[in-house]
Amino acid sequence: MTHSDLARRIHAASHLTGHFTLRSGRTATEYFDKYRFEADPVLLDDIAQRMLPLVPTGTEVLAGLEMGGIPVVTALSRHTGLPCAFVRKQAKPYGTCRLAEGAEVTGRRVLVVEDVVTSGGQIVLSTTDLRSLGAQVHEALCVIDREQGGADALAAENIRLLSLLTAADLRTAAAA
């Protein structure tokens, strides 16, 4: 399977048109419904396999962001053999009361894993939280970079964005 084949499959599974309000507050007429590609076990496994070479050397923990990053990080963990943490938007007020569940992040090199990046806002917030727990976070990895300023916002916080695909990749593959 080529990069273009995967892009075409993701586009076919998740591309919607209409009027959508994004997490960033921006509106869009094009939307990639991440749950559609995350809910397909064969497609999700193929995505994780293609993300494998993008995981930086020295990564000790994969940290998936609530909620869309959780299926991606779990699938990627299967391929890398690395443990994963599940990062909440805020710590729950009961049980363990932890922000990051699963693998310990303190003192470890952590790769943040997200599904779709637009502004990068949630990655910035979650990375700040992870760093306050003692995690060493230098990169974030996503399935789709919508190319709407996320990489620049992350760079301003010393986080390098790695992406499997961009919105342009998906449009190009769909047009082919």
3-state secondary structure of 32: strand
Q: 87-124: per-residue pLDDT in tens? A: 998 877 777 768 899 999 999 999 999 999 989 999 99
Structural domains for the chain? 3-175 (3.40.50.2020)
131 is in an annotated binding site: no
Q: 31-75: per-residue pLDDT in tens? A: 889 999 999 999 999 999 999 999 999 999 999 999 989 999 999
120 is in an annotated binding site: yes
160 is in an annotated binding site: no
Place of tokens 């910035």: 124
3-state secondary structure of 87: strand
Token duo for residue 160? 């390098």
> Torsions phi, psi of 7, nearest 5?
-60, -40
122 is in an annotated binding site: yes
9 is in an annotated binding site: no
State residue 79's pLDDT score.
97
88 is in an annotated binding site: yes
116 is in an annotated binding site: yes
Find all residues with CB under 8 Å of 156, minimum gap 6, and list them.
none
The model's pTM is: 0.93
CA-based nearest residue to 37, from 73, 63, 11, 58: 11
92 is in an annotated binding site: yes
Q: 134-150: per-residue pLDDT in tens? A: 999 999 999 999 999 99
